[in-house]
Amino acid sequence: MERLELKYGLNPNQGNAYIYRKGGLPITILNGRVGYINLLDALNGWQLVSELKASLSLPAAASFKHVSPAGAAVAVPLSEKERKMYFVKGEPSPLATAYIRARGTDRMSSFGDFIALSDICDVSTASVIAKEVSDGIIAPGYDEEALSLLKAKKKGCYTIIQIDPDFRAEENDERMVLGITFSQKRNDFMPSEMTFSNPVTQKKEIPASVRTDLVLSLLTLKYTQSNSVCLAYNGQTTGVGAGQQSRLHCTRLACDKSDIWHLRQSDKVLSLPFRKNLSRNEKDNAIVQYLSPDPEIDVIDNWQEYFTERPDAMSEDERREYLASVSGVSLSSDAFFPFPDNIVRAGRSGVGYVAQPGGSIRDDLVVGKADENGMVMFFTGARLFHH
Q: Which residues contact 374 (CB under 8 A, 6 or more apart)?
A: 203, 352
For residue 155, indicate whether it is catalytic: no
**Annotated catalytic residue within 38, 44, 65, 373:** 65
Within 10 Å of residue 376's Cβ, how many Cβ atoms? 22
381: left (phi over 0), alpha (psi -120 to 50) or beta: left
- Among the listed residues 22, 155, 185, 387, the single catalytic one is 387
Whether 65 is catalytic is yes
Q: Of these residues, 227, 234, 285, 342, which one is catalytic? A: 227
**CB within 8 A of 118, min separation 6: which ones?**
49, 50, 52, 53, 59, 60, 61, 95, 98, 139, 140
Taking only Cα atoms into account, the Rg of the chain, rounded to an integer number of angstroms, comes to 21
Torsion of the alpha carbons at 303, 305, 309 and 314, rounded to the nearest 10:
-30
Do 136 and 34 touch, CB atoms closer than 8 A?
yes
Catalytic residue chosen out of the listed positions 66, 151, 203, 268: 66
Which residues have a Cβ under 8 Å from the Cβ of 360 and sit 6 or more positions away? Answer: 336, 337, 338, 366
Q: Could you list the active site residues? A: 65-66, 227, 387
